[in-house]
Structure 1
């Protein structure tokens, strides 16, 4: 105990360096249970996950992940494009991941227990060089 008190600066340095090492993981994942783009692709290909984009219609039209269903966050509850099979995995995305985290929480409350947000949103999707498209119009 005496060592800790006499060398408080060493303890502080160790705690700060540990925090800085953990920061990227905490900042990127953000939402509990968030999936990285590669994991999202695996879920879509192997487990028939449904990709839902909760951006507003204008944002969706400007660019979205290929094959994503457009269901704006404010229309999520009871939307006709939600899968009827609540056991299917759902990957929810938006521009940055913040709205997707809220939407995934809402979907879990509606019984979609496998709803998970995409970490980093459309930005991370594009950085992973995954296909995007624009809506006609």
Structure 2
């Protein structure tokens, strides 16, 4: 076994790193305590729980198409503008970006700031569009 590892160290390392990356892509957000929702669950939160849709993309991305009635606060300004969300502290917040990565970071930040009902839209606006959901321009 030791001889095999020595002869194939790069193959073994690449396999381990690839496995770790795959594991993180599936379970990383859950391990960070981030709630993921698909477009169906997001729509239910919006329609039945009066959830705020928080878009954390940049202005140009937002202008190109956004979920109806969403509030734009770019991720880079979220902490300094967190006070604008105070009235939503006890309500669900569906956080969106292009693909779900920035919104996951925003959910983590919101959680640290005491917003217990922050939900990341899995796949972001791209998944929303792919599901045939409307965007406003």
Structure 2 length-normalised TM: 0.73
1:82 aligns with 2:80: no
Count of matched residue pairs: 111
Contact 2:92 2:118 in 1 (8 A): yes
Match of 2:103 in 1: 100
1:61 aligns with 2:55: no
Where has structure 1 moved over 2 Å in runs of 4 or more?
26-32
Secondary structure at the aligned position of 1:99 is classed as helix
Give the CA RMSD over aligned residues.
2.1
Contact 1:28 1:120 in 2 (8 A): no
Normalized per residue, the structure richer in helix is: 2
Question: What's the offset of the Cα at 1:28?
Answer: 7.2
Secondary structure at the aligned position of 1:92 is classed as strand
